[in-house]
Amino acid sequence: MGLMMGEIEEIASVLRERYGHGEVVGISPDEVEEVRVRQGVEELPLEYRRFLALMGRRAGGMLVGTDIFYPAILPLKDSLDDFPVVRDLISSVPGSLVLGMHQGYQVYVVTDVGSSDPKVLMYEEDEDAPVSEWDSFTDFLRSEMAQLD
């Protein structure tokens, strides 16, 4: 009996079928650990770890133009000069993650790393509150999938 495929695995499978196996590339366990260390958290959320393992380097046409892939994600937590609200948020909520940055004016944040599939907040430059949010990391990925041609 095989393991039941989770939602992150299904998304990766759909992207592989659509773009080819060489266009959907994960990162190694050592690289996942490097992300954890650079984010300064004790543990990465389970679904985010699955994402990194399956598509952490490239996800076909999904999230193109967003620094959400390795190695571009490594310095993001230290690159928040244009986002004082986010910088204050992550310094006041231990264990927050900066998942990605889009075109330098949007940043994706997780504040509940204790959840296996945490809520994702998106902030834009010069905004004091999130402009978008998703109930979970997998909801965020589903939303990105829905935007593909």
pLDDT, position 94: 84
Take residue 107 and report the two structure tokens written for it. 């940043």
Which residue has 């998304």 as its token pair?
11
**Per-position pLDDT tens, the chain of length 149:** 344 569 999 999 999 999 999 999 999 999 999 999 999 999 999 999 999 999 999 999 999 999 999 999 999 999 898 899 999 999 898 889 999 999 999 999 999 988 999 999 999 998 999 999 999 999 999 999 999 96
CATH of 7-146, one of 3.40.50.300, 3.40.1580.10, 3.30.2350.10, 3.60.150.10: 3.40.1580.10
Cβ neighbours, 10 Å, residue 87: 17
pTM: 0.93
Using the Cα atoms of residue 5, residue 7, residue 10 and residue 12 in order, give the sign of their dihedral.
negative
Helix, strand or coil, per DSSP, at residue 98: strand
Q: Are the CB atoms for 123 and 106 separated by under 8 Å?
A: yes
Q: What is the DSSP letter of 5?
A: P
Specify the DSSP element, H or E, that contains 122.
strand 120-124
Q: Are the CB atoms for 138 and 117 separated by under 8 Å?
A: yes
Q: What is the DSSP letter of 6?
A: P
